[in-house]
Amino acid sequence: MYKRLNDELPRDGWDALMIGSGPGSLSCAAALARAGQRVLVLEKHYEPGGFSHTFKRKSFEWDVGVHYIGAVHREWSVERKTFDYVSNEKLKWAFMDSPYDRAEVEGKFYDFIPNEKEQIELWVSNFPEEEEAIRKYWAMVRECASSSGKFFAEKVLPPLLSKTIGRFMTSTFRKYSDRTTYDVLRELTDNETLITVLCAQCGDYGLPPKDSSFAIHAMLVNHYRSGANYPIGGAAKIGETIIGTIEAHNGAVVLRSGVESLLIENKRAVGVRLESGEEIRAKRVISGIGARNTYTHLLPQETLNGFNPVNDLKTVPPSTGHMCLYVGLNKSDAELDLPKYNYWCYDPYTGDGTPGSRMPTVYISFPSAKDPSWSETHPNTSTIQCIGLCNFDEVEQWAGTRWKKRGDDYEALKEAFKEKMCETLFRLHPECKEHVAWAEVSSPLSTAHFSFYDQGEIYGLSHTPERFKLDWLRPRTPIKEFYLTGQDICSAGVVPALVSGLMTASAILKTNLIKDIMKGNAP
């Protein structure tokens, strides 16, 4: 299915070169290929898909970053329409039912259900004295989320038009994005338990309420307000189906082909130099490996015509990393009665314990239970993931060591994490304890090794208010025919990355692709 860089693959004549094969790069490549452009995707890893790929151990398989997707069960939604477009309607979804998330806060459970009106009523029943605050909260979520379309659309406008009407398009969004989630919520309520419940899904963007922009929180909550879904066949189906579209339109995806630098002639991108020393040329180049990686690793500063994003990036740190326990069980989901919903466990709290600093102790996902095809492809087995957020400095002392050869102290750290995760998992589901056939722990070093993000970050740039003030996080760059795509120009997650690819393709093709897709006019 995927090509190797061999003598038969042309080294020039491409319309577009994509650096990286995450959802942003793949969706951009699919859109350009459908528009008749000859596209080549270059991936350093031996698996395509970025954080949407999966890995296997014996008879088990786990996703590494796709735990659920909102809105795609609604056939008319932007999310569903765009996925159908880039996958040629080959990607299918399973609805996760109700609840789709369950938060444990101070020993009590709070459910997230796929109906906004019923969700509000449920939370009001949990916090009857906070009804006014809860209703105001949802109104603010809707207003902020609805304003995000204009905010991101402005990023695709030609520079002159952006300067003329840009601030009018972004003013409502910035009213929220410039403030932290905690600041916004504290104006509504002083009930810290309610704030923790409202922010229980904050691990989905990797920041506690005191640090996160309310904009990312509102967009996340709005994304799941009608429920959640999982790709049938597993997360790898996302990349597999989009690559199928690329290849059906004469494009190619090449693995084990890391890019060393951008080729620039007369202030114009003309191709890339690979780590092997080979050069591949094209009319334009699109980087989907993140803003920090792009501007610190691919481009010498003298090529940027006085633009210095590295200084700006010092104000926005990389997002958090994570540690994950991958569990394989020798019984089926049905036999063990495992749920489709995810857990967010906040007891005990981590961090310093002060209001707004709380982070999830454990996130538990049951990928095999969410996938209706699992029992056919992996009979009599099931899988679980237990995740905790982990900053790079907690594992930095082993950064210079080799994968699987990091020493006894590192293995002891992972073993301690495994014990902590298992304690929570078996408290919630004791029936799993006697059926563990595989257990393996990854850390931010594992993420750095396979994803090539220096600090093992999983959400690109951290979603602070400062991040949304970086106006240059947009498809066009100061270098002619060089573009950015991926979650950094949009926001965290598979859907924002997917949309970013269409934003970049829109800038290149000089059309509003998302509007065309919704109207059925896209190529």
Q: How far apart are CA 333 and CA 383, in angstroms?
A: 8
4: in domain: no
Q: Are residues 369 and 322 in the same domain?
A: yes
The three-state DSSP-derived secondary structure of 181-194 is HHHHHHCCCCCHHH
Dist CA 32 CA 21 (whole Å): 14
455 has pLDDT over 60:
yes
Query: Angle, nearest 10°, between helix axes 23-34 and 494-509?
Result: 40
pLDDT band at residue 353 under the 50/70/90 scheme: very low
What's the average model confidence in pLDDT over 340-362? 66
Query: Region 378-403: what's the mean pLDDT?
Result: 92
Query: What pLDDT, on the 0 to 100 scale, is given for residue 451?
Result: 83
- Nearest CA to 177 out of 316, 24, 22 is that of 316
Q: Are 362 and 386 in contact (CB under 8 A)?
A: yes
Same-domain status, 304 and 343: no
User: What pLDDT, on the 0 to 100 scale, is given for residue 87?
Assistant: 98
Q: Are residues 75 and 134 part of one domain? A: no
The pLDDT of residue 57: 93
Question: What confidence score (pLDDT) does residue 7 get?
Answer: 72
Query: Tokens in use for 40?
Result: 């080549």
pLDDT band at 301 (very low <50, low <70, confident <90, very high): low
Whether 453 and 488 map to the same domain: the answer is: no
Please say which residue of 224, 256, 282 terminates a domain: 224
Is residue 298 pLDDT above 70, yes or no? yes
For residues 208 and 245, membership in a common domain is answered with no
Examine residue 465 and state whether it is found in any structural domain, yes or no: no
For 206-254, the pLDDT digits (tens) are 999 999 999 999 999 999 999 999 999 999 999 999 999 999 999 999 9
- For residues 410 and 497, membership in a common domain is answered with no
CA pair distance 488, 423, nearest whole angstrom: 35
Same domain, 169 and 293: no
The answer on pLDDT for 2 being more than 70 is no
- Domain boundary residue among 207, 224, 241? 224
Examine the domain organization and report whether 245 and 394 are in the same domain: no
First to last CA, the chain: 24
**Host domain of residue 511:** 14-52+69-92+232-316+470-519
> Has residue 23 been placed in a domain?
yes
- The backbone torsions φ and ψ at residue 71, rounded to the nearest 5 degrees and listed phi first, read 70, -15
**Domain annotation covers residue 159:** yes
Whether 351 shows a pLDDT value over 50: the answer reads no
Number of domains in the chain: 3
Do 333 and 454 lie in one domain? The reply is yes
Please check whether residue 7 lies inside any domain of the structure: no
User: CATH code at 81?
Assistant: 3.50.50.60
In a domain, 106, yes or no: no
| Mean pLDDT of the chain, nearest integer | 92
Whether pLDDT at 478 is above 80: yes
User: Does residue 270 form part of some domain?
Assistant: yes
pLDDT at 347: 61
**Cα torsion 77, 79, 80, 86: sign:** positive
Is pLDDT of 333 > 70?
A: yes
Q: Is residue 409 part of a domain?
A: yes
Report the pLDDT value the prediction gives residue 348, as an integer from 0 to 100: 46
**Structure confidence at residue 159 (pLDDT):** 87
Q: Which of 224, 253, 281 is the last residue of a domain?
A: 224
pLDDT band (50, 70, 90) for residue 53: confident
Q: Is the pLDDT of residue 80 over 50?
A: yes
In the predicted model, what is the mean pLDDT of residues 401-412?
Answer: 90
Domain check: are 450 and 322 in the same one? yes
The proportion of the chain whose per-residue pLDDT surpasses 70, expressed as a percent, equals: 96
d(CA 144, CA 123): 21
Express as a percent the part of the chain with pLDDT over 90.
81
Instruction: Judge if 282 and 206 occupy the same domain.
Output: no
- Strands (DSSP E) contained in 290-381 are 321-329, 342-345, 362-365
Summarised one tens digit per residue, pLDDT across range 163-213 is: 899 899 999 999 999 999 999 999 999 999 999 999 999 999 999 999 999
Of 69, 96, 63, give the one whose Cα is nearest residue 234.
Answer: 63
Contact 505, 246 (CB under 8 A): no
Rounded-to-integer distance, Cα 443 and Cα 456, Å: 8
Is the pLDDT assigned to residue 389 strictly greater than 60? yes
**Domain check: are 306 and 330 in the same one?**
no
Give the C-alpha distances (Å, rounded to integers) separating 490 from 16, 399, 441.
21, 29, 30
CA distances from 487 to 257, 264, 373, 411, 451 (A): 22, 25, 29, 32, 14
